[in-house]
Amino acid sequence: MDFKIIEEREKIKIILNKNNLEVAKATCYFDNTPRLNEEKIGTIGDFECEDEKSGIEILKKCEEILKEKNIKFIVSPMNENTWKKYRVIKYTNGENTFLFENVNEIKYNDILLKSGFSELYTYTSNKGELKNAYNSESLKIAEEKIKQANIVIRKFNKKDYINDLKKIYNISVKSFKKNPLYTEIPEKAFLMQYEEYIDLIDDEFVLIAEKNKKEIGFIFCVPDFNELKQNKKIETIIVKTVAVLNEYEGMAIGNVMIKNILDKAKERGFEKEIFAFMYKNNTSQKIAKRNKAEIIREYVIYGKDISRK
């Protein structure tokens, strides 16, 4: 087996060949990567292999290369940072893949573990029936308090989508700072990433909360268009992202936005909801439990300390 190494300014691509055939590939990222305990880390992404042996071999090579770049801790699988493809499936109940579920296959768990990696962070996606969606008197009270505080929750404006995407970006870079392995990206990169999906956005399923016309929270949901290929009918709404600025977290704005979305989805004939990619130690797990949503998938990010030896 032999390696082909392609070095670029911010990353190094590695291809493992056997008998002139590609059997594995990966990319080492070492520039625009997250920090862990104030230390910049390396990430291994774009990871694919035909078998366990080639997978272990290429991960070993990645480790050598990242050590040469003075990296002390590696995270995998992650394509540079958490704004791009990352996580590997650890558990699935067999449900079909839903829209935006762009993660590594379950087979890579054993390869990463046998390469000396251990679980770093865990996430879940939970699915429930909209008929069981949480509704209570406390949500009605919270909604009234939000109105009294002159906070307006409005739908996304597709005619002026750039301005609303900028508002979503402003909230994201502030509220996601506490998320594991968070890395800030420039506004331009964010807009380019979301503009790709503008045709998939249903303006009634993306809400922005504002006080005095200044953005303070948002919820991003999208119908599961993957179901068109599988069932010829879309019956599931995906709750992808909910974010509220820290100073407004005690007002249940996120819970009220979720309720409004799920109510609207029921009105429009949807039957199920997915709470996607929730960090396992996050309060979002309580939201899924309240809505009687069960785990359909569990995902892991793996880490490895390479500072010793």
Supply 39's token pair.
Answer: 């230390």
Report whether 109 contacts 91 (CB < 8 A): no
Report whether 71 contacts 40 (CB < 8 A): yes
Report whether 258 contacts 293 (CB < 8 A): no
Q: Which residue has the higher pLDDT, 287 or 253?
A: 253
Grade residue 59 by pLDDT with cuts at 50, 70 and 90. very high
pLDDT of 38 above 80: yes
What pLDDT, on the 0 to 100 scale, is given for residue 309? Answer: 59
Average pLDDT of the residues of the chain:
94
Place of tokens 């009634």: 204
CATH 3.40.630.30, domain 2-124+300-305, yes or no: yes
- Residues 6+ positions from 200 with CB-CB distance below 8 Å: 99, 222, 223, 225
% of the chain surpassing 70 pLDDT: 99
Report the predicted TM-score, pTM, of the whole model to 2 decimal places.
0.93
Residue 47's nearest CA partner among 124, 96, 97, 117 is 117
Q: Into which CATH architecture does domain 128-298 fall?
A: 3-Layer(aba) Sandwich (3.40)
User: What number is the average pLDDT over the span 165-169?
Assistant: 97
Residue 142's nearest CA partner among 240, 244, 236, 239 is 244
Report whether 110 contacts 75 (CB < 8 A): no
The phi, psi pair for 198, rounded to 5°, reads: -60, -35
Residue 81's nearest CA partner among 26, 32, 11 is 32
3-class DSSP state for residue 3?
Answer: strand
Supply 283's token pair.
Answer: 């309060």
What pLDDT, on the 0 to 100 scale, is given for residue 171? Answer: 97
**Ramachandran sector of residue 277 (left: φ over 0; alpha: ψ -120 to 50; beta: rest):** left
3-class DSSP state for residue 286?
Answer: helix
Grade residue 282 by pLDDT with cuts at 50, 70 and 90. low
Grade residue 286 by pLDDT with cuts at 50, 70 and 90. confident
pLDDT of 281 above 80: no
Grade residue 37 by pLDDT with cuts at 50, 70 and 90. confident
pLDDT of 308 above 80: no
DSSP-assigned letters across all residues of 246-285: GGGGGGTHHHHHHHHHHHHHHHTT--EEEEEEEETTSTHH
Grade residue 215 by pLDDT with cuts at 50, 70 and 90. very high
User: What number is the average pLDDT over the span 278-294?
Assistant: 84
How far apart, in whole angstroms, are the C-alpha atoms of residue 125 and residue 293?
Answer: 9
Tell how strand 272-279 and strand 294-305 pair up: unpaired
Q: Where in the chain is the domain with CATH 3.40.630.30?
A: 2-124+300-305, 128-298
3-class DSSP state for residue 237?
Answer: strand
How far apart, in whole angstroms, are the C-alpha atoms of residue 304 and residue 53?
Answer: 19
